Structure 1
Amino acid sequence: MTGIRIGDGGGFGGISLAHTADLDASVRAAARSLLDEVFEGDMTDQDWEHALGGVHALAWEGPELVGHASLVQRRLLHGGRALRTGYVEGVGVRADRRGRGYGAALMGALERVVRGAYDLGALASTDEALGFYAARGWLLWRGPVSALTPSGTVRTEEDDGCVHVLPVAGGAQPDTSGELVCDWREGDLW
């Protein structure tokens, strides 16, 4: 695996950043296995596919992978603009390593990338993680969310209340009460 190592991870094994293309098969398999465990079998092949093709933040304790998050590019439509968005996917820390700062370190690494490369950051959160993202400055989207599908724009009411955005200095300053539309993909749209 080639990539960038970031600090000592606050006293633990550290965080590395690498593009999907730079992850060898064993690291990809370890990340997928970790997410299967974290999401208790609710991580589908499509969910995993959504996490590929961008930058992965990997939390290590020695040679052992204990956390993962990735950032992929998507286009979100808001206020008449197509925004180049860094979209966070596949965030998870092994259950026996939670509460030690791994999640914050993973997100900090990806937020740095969002702030340097995108108009906006976005993610869809589980109910359990809403407070975690809010504490990091992510804003809950309060307006309607929709998806641009092959059949046109379709409301995705089931995703109301779980989408968050991270405004970027010099980037889009969204009206979180307005409509937000994501681009099309197979599986979960947000």
Structure 2
Amino acid sequence: MTPSPSPSPSPAEHPTGTAELRLAHTADLDAATLTAARILLYDVFDDMTAEDWEHALGGMHALVHEDGQLIGHASVVQRRLLHNGRALRCGYVEGVGVRADRRGRGHGAAMMTALERVIHNAYDLGALGAADDAAAFYATRGWQPWRGPSSALTPHGIHRTPHEDGALYVLAASATLDLGGELTCDWREGDAW
């Protein structure tokens, strides 16, 4: 069960004091907010695709607004990961981005703190795919690199995803993890991880 969305925005953890952090489910966001989040992520990521945006929907969103403008987005969605013979309920982090002129002010950390609370209270583990330039950020927050092989459960069976090896990070919640074991994700269109 995912927690209820916050009834009202709360201050983000950063020095400026003018930003507000809101945690809400996709179903509770209006079309204008979702459009602003999609536009923000397309601006942040050069290689953002329609499937990437779709992957960020259906769960909890952490949104940072400053002076009425959306400047940060991150979401956590439910996925199933296979590990050590178990199907684990995973809070998978997607679409973490802060507007370029607002980076370095703690907005990313504030959004991740909100999503990590959701992961710890609602999932067996958290997982995400980290770009090289973001890996250190996640590691300082307690996310651990997955050292074992990765795979995807596709319509044609389990297939290795070696290009993801070394880029996956996990956050233990209630599950016991063997970081050197195999980790297999459920199927979805676009990037498996």
TM-score in terms of structure 1 length: 0.95
Following superposition, the deviation at residue 50 of structure 1 comes to 0.3
Distance 1:14 1:8 in 2: 4
Unaligned stretches of 5+ residues in structure 2: none
Distance 1:156 1:3 in 2: 34
Q: Which amino acid aligns with 1:25?
A: A
Q: Superposition pairs for residues 92-103 of structure 1, below 5 Å?
A: 92-103=97-108
Distance 1:68 1:111 in 2: 14
Residue of structure 2 equivalent to 1:174? 177
Q: Does residue 108 of structure 1 match 2:113?
A: yes
Deviations 1:99-146 (A, max 9, x none): 000000000000000000000000001111000000000000000000
Match of 1:165 among 164, 170, 186: 170
Unaligned stretches of 5+ residues in structure 1: none
Q: Which amino acid aligns with 2:58?
A: G
Aligned residues: 186
Q: SS of the counterpart of 2:11? A: coil
Residue of structure 2 equivalent to 1:51? 56
Q: Does residue 35 of structure 1 match 2:41?
A: yes
Following superposition, the deviation at residue 6 of structure 1 comes to 5.3
Match of 2:86 among 65, 81, 84: 81
Residue of structure 2 equivalent to 1:26? 32
Following superposition, the deviation at residue 9 of structure 1 comes to 0.8
Match of 2:187 among 158, 163, 184: 184
Distance 1:94 1:3 in 2: 23
Following superposition, the deviation at residue 43 of structure 1 comes to 0.9
Q: Does residue 9 of structure 1 match 2:12?
A: yes
- Alignment identity in percent? 63
